[in-house]
Structure 1
Amino acid sequence: MAGASPAATLPAVAEELLSEMAAAVRESARVPDEHLLLLKFVFGSSALQALDLVDRQSVTLISSPSGRHVYQVLGSSGKTYTCLASCHYCSCPAFAFSVLRKSDSLLCKHLLAVYLSQVMGNCQQLSVSDKQLTDMLLMKKQEA
């Protein structure tokens, strides 16, 4: 799995489910139906939306020579959001409201799509210079 494991920040049930999904994909190159049902149970409607983002190959891992990396997810609205899987963060408004403010969701669909793309090995990859990565992150901050 590229990047950090979600284990450090997700509740044990979500961590275990993603772990089991990764093992199943390694074994049979597919996610078993029971795991998809559990995904829907744990994450609700975000699960289907996240799977759709993964299917549309909307997740890109952007890495730099220094080893820094971020994910960008092209959302269903056409906006691109920056996700930092290592610290369980997404720049979308749903993350700020539902995850951080109200605490009624474990993750937004973009961050879940990042974790699922890691599990399924279905992630676009882009290498950029350290300066380009810094500029990308600073531009995102200025737009917010």
Structure 2
Amino acid sequence: MAVASEGLTLPAVVEELLSEMAAAVQENARIPDEHLSSLKFIFGPSAIQALDLVDRQSITLITSPSGRRAYQVLGSSGKMYTCLASCHYCSCPAFAFSVLRKSDGLLCKHLLAVYLSQVTGTCRQLKVSDKQLTDVLFTEKKEKA
């Protein structure tokens, strides 16, 4: 399972870990403890928070007929965030501050939860029209303004 899209990759160690986790889940239907430890080592407290989001089935993949894909993650605060896995983006303030501005993190917990839900196959799916997906993306932008 390729987690990152072609040409846009996470650091190699994260790619390898997610790939190993996907293989382990496929073989044993669970993430081994050593992978969970590695996840916590790389992402700190965000790893536990992301796993909690996955456990609560807070991630929905939204697809449209044109092939566009976006994820919506219901955050622990009850706010909905939009994630674009293809370019490693999340609309949450933590992503803007910690990942983009300070560069002290690779991902926010929402985006990590998206990748983990892909690995575990627990992502809910919703098919919408192209217009509906556009509305989802623009609604998010309007709320920020």
Question: 1:9 & 1:58 partners in 2: Cα distance?
Answer: 24
- CA deviations 1:45-81 (Å, max 9, x no partner) are 0000000000000000000111111000000000000
5+ unaligned residues in a row in structure 1: which ranges?
A: none
Q: What's the counterpart of residue 125 of structure 2?
A: 125
Partner residue of 2:10? 10
Q: Does 1:38 align with 2:17?
A: no
- Tell me the residue number matched to 2:140: 140
> What is the TM-score normalised by the length of structure 1?
0.96
Q: Which amino acid counterpart does residue 17 of structure 1 have in structure 2?
A: L
Residue 71 of structure 1 aligns with which residue?
Answer: 71
CA deviation profile, 1:86-107 (whole Å, cap 9, x unmatched): 0000000000000000011110
User: Are 2:56 and 1:56 equivalent residues in the alignment?
Assistant: yes
In 1, Cα distance between equivalents of 2:139 and 2:111: 20
Q: Which runs of 4+ in 1 moved over 6 A?
A: none
Q: Which residue of 2 aligns with 1:22?
A: 22
Partner of 2:98: 98
In 1, the alpha carbon distance for the partners of 2:105 and 2:135 equals 30
Q: TM-score w.r.t. structure 2 length?
A: 0.95
What is the match of residue 110 of structure 2?
110
Secondary structure at the counterpart of residue 77 of structure 2: coil
How many angstroms does 1:28 deviate by?
A: 0.9
Q: Shift of the alpha carbon at 1:9?
A: 2.7
Over the aligned positions, Cα root-mean-square deviation in angstroms equals 1.1
One-letter amino acid of the counterpart of residue 65, structure 1: P
Unaligned 5+ runs, structure 2: none
Give aligned pairs, total.
142
Identity of aligned residues (%): 80
Query: Which residue identity does 2:109 align to in structure 1?
Result: K
Q: Distance in 1 between matches of 2:115 and 2:43?
A: 12
Deviations 1:15-72 (A, max 9, x none): 1100100010111111001000000001110000000000000000000111111000
